Every structure is written in structure tokens, then in C-alpha cells.
Amino acid sequence: MNKIQKLAVLSALPVAAALMALPAQAAERPACPMPTKAEVKRSSDTKVDQPPRGAAAIKGVRVNHIPKGFTYGGVVVNKHHGITEYGYQWGDDRPNADPKQRSLWVRVVCWPKASELAQLKNGPFDMGTFSGDTRTVKIGGRQVLTQEGDGALGDGRYAGWVEREGVVVTVMASRPLVPELAKIINGIKL
């Protein structure tokens, strides 16, 4: 083997090692972000965070764009019918009837049967169902199902998508935050 061949082989080794590590890294990533026992307890005790948590409020999820102006937040966990709903709600001190009230809810749903966007219309969610007049649109670089928020979710826009098989993400942004919805959705990383 000449010097050039040796250099070519040596320079390929780091690339080969990195490629071999990819399946191991994928195996390390959990299929779906799951709440810890402490988070389940915080949710059932309705603990409030003042000030609210930031980008890593949901373990295994990064919310890279959180609008300003929130004064409190809280973890929300719900387990039922073989699924786990795990999220965080940010809010301010304005009453719900105030049109300037700011709230944001980001949720991950571990639903093993989820594989395509159309399934969200019949999703087994306790809160935040896609039961209204839904549309499929592209927001924040993602194909999402969206609808106007109803009374249970508040005024604003509700959006959801299948991040990968078995993992659904939903976002509810109150009316004052709708202009930032694309940045919010684009900034969510699992």
C-alpha cells in the first residue's frame, strides 16, 4: 500500500466510526419522551412554577421559542387508554376573558398507533381533540393539522403533527401568540 492509499484509509476511519455509531445513537433516543415519577406527581398535585420553566420544561423536548410575558407554568401529565399525554402550560395573570391573555400549551402524546396526520382527528386525547373544523397546512416547516381553539382550550390556534411513529406533538397558542406560532412550532425539537 502506498502513502496515498494509507492516508485515504486513515482519513476514512473517523467517518466509518461515525456511521457505525448512528444506529447506537438512534437506539439510545427514547421512542417517546416520558414523564418522570416526580413530574407525574407534580401534575397530580397541580404544582405551579413561578416563574415558569424555560425551553426544557418537558423532559426530552426542547421548546426553543417561548414568547415573553408568562408569569407561571405547570406540568400536565395524563395517562389513559394506553397513551401518555405529557406537556407544559405557560400562562400570564390576565383572566381568561381578557383578549390579551397569553397562554401556550405544548404537549407530547405517546400514542403507539399514531403514524399519520389524519389519525389526529380521531385521536384518543382527553383534552385538545381535533373535533372542530380542521385544516392541513404547513406551519413552521411542518405539515400540521390545525383548528381554531374552542372554549375548552381557549381562544387561539391549536395545531398538531406526528413527529415520528408513535409520537404526536400538539401546540395551543392563545390569540395574541398566533403570529408567533410558526416560530414556536419550528423551534420544537425532540
What pLDDT sits at residue 2? 52
pLDDT band of residue 104 (cuts 50, 70, 90) is very high
Lowest mean pLDDT among 10-14, 119-123, 157-161, 167-171: 10-14
Q: Please indicate, yes or no, whether residues 177 and 146 belong to a single structural domain of this protein.
A: yes
Q: What pTM does this model have?
A: 0.82
Q: Please indicate, yes or no, whether residues 17 and 41 belong to a single structural domain of this protein.
A: no
Q: Please indicate, yes or no, whether residues 105 and 152 belong to a single structural domain of this protein.
A: yes
Q: Please indicate, yes or no, whether residues 83 and 133 belong to a single structural domain of this protein.
A: yes
Q: Please indicate, yes or no, whether residues 52 and 13 belong to a single structural domain of this protein.
A: no
Q: Please indicate, yes or no, whether residues 4 and 82 belong to a single structural domain of this protein.
A: no
pLDDT band of residue 18 (cuts 50, 70, 90) is very low
pLDDT band of residue 153 (cuts 50, 70, 90) is low
Among 71, 68, 108, CA closest to 88 = 108
Q: Please indicate, yes or no, whether residues 91 and 163 belong to a single structural domain of this protein.
A: yes
Q: Please indicate, yes or no, whether residues 143 and 172 belong to a single structural domain of this protein.
A: yes
Q: Please indicate, yes or no, whether residues 25 and 67 belong to a single structural domain of this protein.
A: no
pLDDT digits (tens, 9 = 90+) for 105-120: 999 999 999 999 999 9
Amino acid identity, position 162: V
CB 111 within 8 A of CB 121: no
What pLDDT sits at residue 9? 42
Q: Please indicate, yes or no, whether residues 51 and 100 belong to a single structural domain of this protein.
A: yes
C-alpha distances (whole Å) from 105 to each of 4, 58, 162, 171 are 57, 11, 17, 6
Q: Output the CA torsion 164→120→145→110 (10° steps).
A: -40
What pLDDT sits at residue 111? 96
Q: Please indicate, yes or no, whether residues 16 and 92 belong to a single structural domain of this protein.
A: no
pLDDT digits (tens, 9 = 90+) for 34-70: 999 999 999 999 999 999 999 999 999 999 999 999 9
**CB burial class (10 A; 0-12, 13-18, 19+) of residue 174?**
buried
Q: Please indicate, yes or no, whether residues 108 and 184 belong to a single structural domain of this protein.
A: yes
Residue numbers of the domain that contains 10: 1-29
Look at the chain and report how many structural domains it folds into: 2
pLDDT digits (tens, 9 = 90+) for 69-100: 999 999 999 999 889 999 999 999 998 888 89
CB 162 within 8 A of CB 182: no
CB 163 within 8 A of CB 38: no
